[in-house]
Amino acid sequence: MSQIPNSLHGQDIANILHPYTNAVRHQEVGPIVIERGEGIRVYDDTGKDYIEAMAGLWSVAVGFSEPRLVEAATRQLNALPYYHTFTHKSNEPSIRLAERLVAMSPARLSKVFFTNSGSEANDTVVKLLWYYNNAMGRPERKKIISRRRAYHGITVASGSLTGLPVNQQDFDLPIAGVRHLTCPHFYREGREGETEEAFAKRLADEFEALVLAEGPETIAGFIGEPLMAAGGVVPPPATYWQKMQAVCRKYGIMLVADEVITGFGRLGRTFGSDYYGIDPDIMVVSKQLTSSYQPLAAVLISDELFEGVAANSARIGMFGHGFTTSGHPVATAVALANLDIIEERGLVANAAAMGEILQKGLASYADHPLVGEVRGAGLIGAIELVSDKAGKTPFDPVGKAGRYLFERGHEHGLIIRAIGDTIAFCPPLIITQSDVADMLARFGRALDDTATYLR
Ligand code: PLP
């Protein structure tokens, strides 16, 4: 890898602070510069191809270089490259997208607020809940309950909802008023002899006990990813969502489904809420909404929430929240074309069918001595590596095996994600059966290398 100062690699090292990167190590190893993409593959500046088994950052539903999204963006750039949605202004693609999102989302959601990123969307959720409860004359009802290992973003409020140490340590997070429950990971948190249902009940009891200890009148919302992704791909135990939802309803706590990853087909249903039977008061979507060709996220809210917020905006004079690019016409035009493609090509059904093949393929590694657990749902899966299978013993240091496998993956032309020692897969929804086989074969080679290295 070239590190000549005036090369692209050298310029990268000299000028960029990379997200989610060890900045000191980056000075030594430099970047992998991705030049182009095609379908489920991307190519670096040496021409080497990689299967993008993570769809970028869990997000490129329709694959790379989809011409219809390029056309939609170009058409909109020519027609109206930018306008805002402040002070009663609007634009056609945003109006049409909002109508479409309301029509396709769970029943109670009736209004849409646009942001650029999932983090901004979850910050908006926190502010909406605070604003709403002030409007309703319940200023004490402000706390939000999340889970350990949840991922809801990295801004000050959303980073507080996130339950991962690396996003909080030395950032002085979380802020006050956020609580975290046990991660619903049966393999790690379940007890000897406990069934999944009993585990789910224990977690719902923990939730209720926390609500009672804090005072139900102080709890505004509970937020969860239907299936936790960035915290290590954790499908909830059977009956978890029904039980958690019942606690929310019992105490008038707003249920927020963070569908930033699960939205638009990832689990083989349109939303994770459909897959798990969740009936949210608020839903957050992003990523696969535009296949990340444009930055866009949306918060969908119930009528009940909207009525309170609207009345307060009238009292104050306006709803004093919004971004310069909320409802950006190019982003919303790309989203509309992207949703057309998902619908026309049956990509939700494809995710269900390819998901089954992926889960079976991953399960075939279950007996491997390094594999502690195989888990997932639909077209998202993971393999957790352990140093001792019987004792479920993590590696020391945690991440040692995952990091090595991740780097060997690059050598074998595979981009995966290592979350500690858990290897995640979340390929584009357009993936085919032979692509799944190719992806798993590349993974198998990287796993063999890792086993040799650790021996
Ligand atoms: N919520 C979930 C469930 C996510 O997975 C992510 C990003 O991975 C976010 C929110 C934050 O989105 P963004 O990175 O666009 O701020």
Complex ipTM value: 0.99
Q: 95-154, pLDDT tens digit by residue? A: 999 999 999 999 999 999 999 999 999 999 999 999 999 999 999 999 999 999 999 999
Helices (H) and strands (E) in the chain, counts: 16, 15
> Ligand 1 atom closest to Cα of 118?
12
Cβ of 225 less than 6 Å from ligand 1: yes
> Ligand 1 atom closest to Cα of 116?
15
Cβ of 308 less than 6 Å from ligand 1: no
Query: For residue 433, what are its two tokens?
Result: 């059966």
DSSP state of 22: -
Q: 339-390, pLDDT tens digit by residue? A: 999 999 999 999 999 999 999 999 999 999 999 999 999 999 999 999 999 9
Look at residue 4 in the predicted model and tell me its pLDDT: 74
Q: What are phi and psi of 65, to 5 degrees?
A: 60, 45
Cβ of 153 less than 6 Å from ligand 1: yes
- Distance in angstroms (rounded) separating the CA atoms of residues 388 and 13: 38
For ligand 1, the distance from its centroid to the CA atom of residue 387, given in whole angstroms, is 30
Each of the 455 residues of the chain gets a pLDDT tens digit; together they read 446 777 999 999 999 999 999 999 999 999 999 999 999 999 999 999 999 999 999 999 999 999 999 999 999 999 999 999 999 999 999 999 999 999 999 999 999 999 999 999 999 999 999 999 999 999 999 999 999 999 999 999 999 999 999 999 999 999 999 999 999 999 999 999 999 999 999 999 999 999 999 999 999 999 999 999 999 999 999 999 999 999 999 999 999 999 999 999 999 999 999 999 999 999 999 999 999 999 999 999 999 999 999 999 999 999 999 999 999 999 999 999 999 999 999 999 999 999 999 999 999 999 999 999 999 999 999 999 999 999 999 999 999 999 999 999 999 999 999 999 999 999 999 999 999 999 999 999 999 999 999 98
Which of 120, 125, 147, 152 should be mutated for ligand 1, with most atoms under 8 A from CB?
Answer: 152
By alpha-carbon position, which residue is closest to atom 10 of ligand 1?
A: 152
Look at residue 1 in the predicted model and tell me its pLDDT: 47
pTM (2 decimals)? 0.98
> Do strands 417-419 and 422-425 pair parallel, antiparallel, or not at all (unpaired)?
antiparallel
Q: What is the DSSP string of 221-270?
A: EEEE-SSB-TTT-BPPPTTHHHHHHHHHHHTTPEEEEE-TTTTTTTTSSS
For ligand 1, the distance from its centroid to the CA atom of residue 230, given in whole angstroms, is 8
Cβ of 152 less than 6 Å from ligand 1: yes
For ligand 1, the distance from its centroid to the CA atom of residue 153, given in whole angstroms, is 5
Look at residue 6 in the predicted model and tell me its pLDDT: 77
For ligand 1, the distance from its centroid to the CA atom of residue 1, given in whole angstroms, is 31
- Distance in angstroms (rounded) separating the CA atoms of residues 27 and 24: 5
Q: What is the DSSP string of 387-400?
A: SBTTTTBPPSSTTH
- Distance in angstroms (rounded) separating the CA atoms of residues 184 and 237: 7
Cβ of 125 less than 6 Å from ligand 1: no
For ligand 1, the distance from its centroid to the CA atom of residue 314, given in whole angstroms, is 31
By alpha-carbon position, which residue is closest to atom 12 of ligand 1?
A: 118
By alpha-carbon position, which residue is closest to atom 1 of ligand 1?
A: 152
> Do strands 34-38 and 41-44 pair parallel, antiparallel, or not at all (unpaired)?
antiparallel
